[in-house]
C-alpha cells in the first residue's frame, strides 16, 4: 500500500508485508522475504565497507575524494567557504621501529578516534594514506580551519596508548588550505595543504601551518607554530 500511494519508506512497507505474510502466508513465502531482508542487509554492509578504511574506521581516500568533489562543486556554485586539513603523525616510523607495527596500528586508530571527537557532524574525516589523515571542512574559512587544526593538534599531543606496560604518545603536524580564487580545482587546494604540511614538518613538527596567497611569518600559539605560508 505504501508503494502504491508513493509515500513512506519501502523498507517499512516490506516490514509490514513480512508481518502479514508471517501470519497468513505459507512458510516458503516467509522464507523468501527473510532472504530479501538478509540480502538488503548484506548490500548495506558491502556499501559501508566500500567507503571505509578497515584499520581506522574512517572513510577511505576514494570516498574522501568523492565527497570533496561534491562539496567543492557546491561551494563553488553558491560562493561558500571550504577548507581542508592534512594531518600527518610525526616520527611514525620511530613508533613502528621501537614498538612494532601493531603498536603503530593502535596509535593510528586512537589518533583517528580522538580527531573525530573534535570535528563537527558535517566534517569529513578520512585516512588519506599511511599515517596521514585528511579532514574536509565545509563552510569553513582559512581562519576557522586554522583554529580547528590547532584544537586537533593540541588534543592529539595528549593521546597515549598503553603498549606492553608503556605509555606511548605521538604528535601531529597539520597543513591547512582554504578554497581561493587562485585554485583551478580541488586538487590545487589540497596541493596547497600538502605544501603547508611539508613546511610544518620542516619547521619542527607538532605544528599547524596554513597556506595563504601572501607570505607572512608564523606566529607562536601555545606550544606549536600556527601560521601561514
Which are the catalytic amino acids? 131
- Residues 114-142 as b/e (b if ≥16 CB within 10 A, e otherwise) read ebbebbeeebbbbbbeebbbbbbbbebeb
DSSP string, 108-159: HHHHHHHHHHTS-TT-EEEEEETTEEEEEEET--HHHHHHHHHHHHHHHTT-
Closest Cα to residue 137, out of 44, 222, 75, 228? Answer: 75
Query: How many Cβ atoms are within 10 Å of 200's Cβ, its own excluded?
Result: 32
Give phi and psi for 6, each to the nearest 5. Answer: 75, 20
Return the axis-axis angle of helices 10-24 and 27-51, rounded to nearest 10°. Answer: 150
How far apart, in whole angstroms, are the C-alpha atoms of residue 212 and residue 229? Answer: 6
61 within 8 A of 126, measured Cβ to Cβ: yes
Angle between helices 92-99 and 101-117 (to 10 degrees): 140
Amino acid at each position: 500500500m505504501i508503494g502504491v500511494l508513493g509515500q513512506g519508506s519501502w523498507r517499512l512497507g516490506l516490514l509490514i508485508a513480512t508481518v502479514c505474510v508471517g501470519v497468513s502466508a505459507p512458510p516458503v513465502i516467509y522464507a523468501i522475504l527473510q532472504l530479501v531482508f538478509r540480502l538488503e542487509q548484506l548490500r548495506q554492509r558491502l556499501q559501508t565497507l566500500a567507503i571505509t578504511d578497515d584499520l581506522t574506521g574512517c572513510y577511505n581516500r576514494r570516498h574522501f575524494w568523492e565527497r570533496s568533489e561534491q562539496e567543492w562543486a557546491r561551494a563553488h556554485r553558491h560562493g561558500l567557504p571550504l577548507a581542508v586539513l592534512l594531518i600527518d603523525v610525526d616520527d611514525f616510523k620511530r613508533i613502528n621501529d621501537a614498538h612494532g607495527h601493531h603498536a603503530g596500528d593502535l596509535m593510528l586508530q586512537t589518533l583517528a578516534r580522538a580527531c573525530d571527537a573534535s570535528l563537527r557532524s558535517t566534517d569529513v574525516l578520512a585516512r588519506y594514506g599511511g599515517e596521514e589523515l585528511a579532514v574536509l571542512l565545509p563552510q569553513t574559512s582559512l581562519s576557522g580551519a586554522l583554529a580547528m587544526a590547532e584544537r586537533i593538534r593540541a588534543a592529539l599531543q595528549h593521546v597515549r596508548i598503553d603498549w606492553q606496560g608503556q605509555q606511548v604518545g605521538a604528535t601531529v603536524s597539520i597543513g591547512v588550505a582554504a578554497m581561493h580564487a587562485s585554485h583551478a580545482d580541488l586538487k590545487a587546494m589540497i596541493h596547497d595543504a600538502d605544501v603547508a604540511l611539508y613546511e610544518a614538518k620542516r619547521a619542527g613538527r607538532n605544528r599547524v601551518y596554513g597556506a595563504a596567497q601572501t607570505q607572512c611569518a608564523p606566529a607562536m600559539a601555545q606550544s606549536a607554530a600556527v601560521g601561514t605560508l
